[in-house]
């Protein structure tokens, strides 16, 4: 039975399943953190929200990619990946804090694509830093 659980196909399916679940949970957490409703805005055609949400998805997946490649157990990968996700939320809150001239959430909700793109870039860029540091 040990060979079954350590087979690369089974391990890949396990990591995939855990990361998809974590991604769903992280998107729910971002839904709470932001003032706009991500999926409702995307359905309405708000490109700025789509960019910001896409950056968050890529960021979370990138953090877990680093975590999978550097940790040997599913639990260790999960713990470091979740820690990285918390740092990504913190980075989003810092972005809001360091832009006192405008409200990031309001600008993204109003389809300001420049702010949406910067949000995308911050999420993705910092995910590389976070990922490298948890490795």
pLDDT recorded at residue 122? 95
pLDDT recorded at residue 71? 83
**8 pLDDT above the threshold of 90:** no
**115 pLDDT above the threshold of 80:** yes
Q: For the whole prediction, is pTM greater than 0.75?
A: yes
Residue extents of the structural domains in the chain: 2-134
Average pLDDT over residues 131-135: 87
pLDDT recorded at residue 2? 72
Per residue, the 3-state secondary structure of the chain, as one string, reads CHHHHHCHHHHHHHHHHHHHHHHHHHHHHHHHHCCCCHHHHHHCCCHHHHHHHHHHHHHHHHHHHHHHHHCCCHHHHHHHHHHHHHHHHHHHHHHHHCCCCCCHHHHHHCCCHHHHHHHHHHHHHHHHHHHHHHC
pLDDT recorded at residue 59? 96
Confidence of residue 25 (pLDDT cuts 50, 70, 90): very high
As a dihedral over the C-alpha atoms of residue 42, residue 43, residue 45, residue 51, rounded to 10 degrees, the angle is 20
**84 pLDDT above the threshold of 90:** yes
């Amino acid at each position: 039975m040990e060979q079954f659980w350590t087979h690369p196909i089974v391990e890949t399916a396990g990591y995939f399943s855990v990361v998809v679940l974590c991604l769903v949970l992280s998107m729910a957490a971002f839904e709470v953190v932001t003032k706009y409703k991500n999926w409702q805005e995307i359905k309405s055609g708000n490109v700025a929200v789509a960019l910001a949400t896409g950056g968050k998805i890529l960021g979370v997946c990138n953090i877990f990619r680093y975590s999978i490649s550097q940790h040997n157990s599913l639990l260790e990968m999960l713990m470091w990946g979740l820690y990285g996700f918390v740092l990504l939320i913190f980075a989003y809150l810092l972005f809001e804090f360091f832009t006192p001239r405008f409200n990031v959430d309001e600008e993204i909700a109003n389809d300001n694509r420049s702010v949406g793109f910067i949000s995308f870039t911050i999420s993705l860029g910092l995910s590389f830093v976070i990922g490298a540091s948890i490795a």
